[in-house]
Each structure stands twice: as structure tokens, then as C-alpha cells.
Amino acid sequence: MEFNDSFIKGCSAIGAGLALIAGIGPGVGQGIAAGHAASAVGRNPGAKSDITSTMLLGQAVAETTGLYGLLIGIILLFVQPLTK
């Protein structure tokens, strides 16, 4: 079956939107990490710099999955591998 270019572009845009749902996971995860870091600073204010650096490292690693979704979204929208 043949599809025309506009149809494929529209479907690519929907696909890019769906791919960005991947952002939910890292959002929740980073929030949990930040919350625990805040309570850790509350318990032990002296270790604030250590806790902050550990939190940032963990959050950046957790962010990776969301970024994979973002990459797929950007590729679908701007590189458009599906159109001829």
C-alpha cells in the first residue's frame, strides 16, 4: 500500500509525541532522588556538598532513558527517516 508524504509526516509527529512520554520516568525518578537528598541534608547538614554531588550524578544517570526518547523524537521530526 502506498502512503503519501503528508500522511507519513503527520504520523511521524504523532510518533515523536508518543516517544516523549518517556520523559515521565526520569521526571519521577529525579524528583524522588531530590526529595531524599533534601531529607538527607535535613538530617545531616554538614554533608551537604557530598549529598548534592551524589544526587546530581544519580539524576544525570537516571535522565539517560528520557534522553533516548528525546533523541528518537528529534530524529522523527527533523531528520525524517521514514519519508522518501
Partner 1 sequence: MGQGIMLSGAEKEVDFFIHEVFQYKIGDNVLYITRSHVCLLIVMLILIIFCIVAGKKLKKAQEIPSGFQNVLELVMEFIDGLINGVMGKFSPKFRNYMATLFVFIFFSNISGLLGLRPPTADYGVTLGLALISFTLIHFNKFKHQKPKGVLKGLMDPWPIWMPINLIGDFAVPISLSLRLFANILSGTAIMALIYTLLGKIAVIWPAALHVYFDLFSGAIQTYVFCMLTMTYITDACTTEEA
Closest contact distance (angstroms) between CB of 27 and partner 1 is 14
Residue carrying C-alpha cell 520523559: 23
| Residue 79 lies near partner 1 (rule: CB under 8 A) | yes
Distance of alpha carbon 23 from alpha carbon 70, whole angstroms: 8
Between 23 and 41, CB nearer to partner 1: 23
Site for partner 1 in 17-76 (CB under 8 A): 53, 56-57, 60-61, 63-64, 67-68, 70-71, 74
CA distances from 67 to 19, 24, 33, 38 (A): 10, 11, 18, 25
Q: Are 20 and 77 in contact (CB under 8 A)?
A: no
Binding site for partner 1 (CB under 8 A): 9, 13, 53, 56-57, 60-61, 63-64, 67-68, 70-71, 74, 77-81, 83
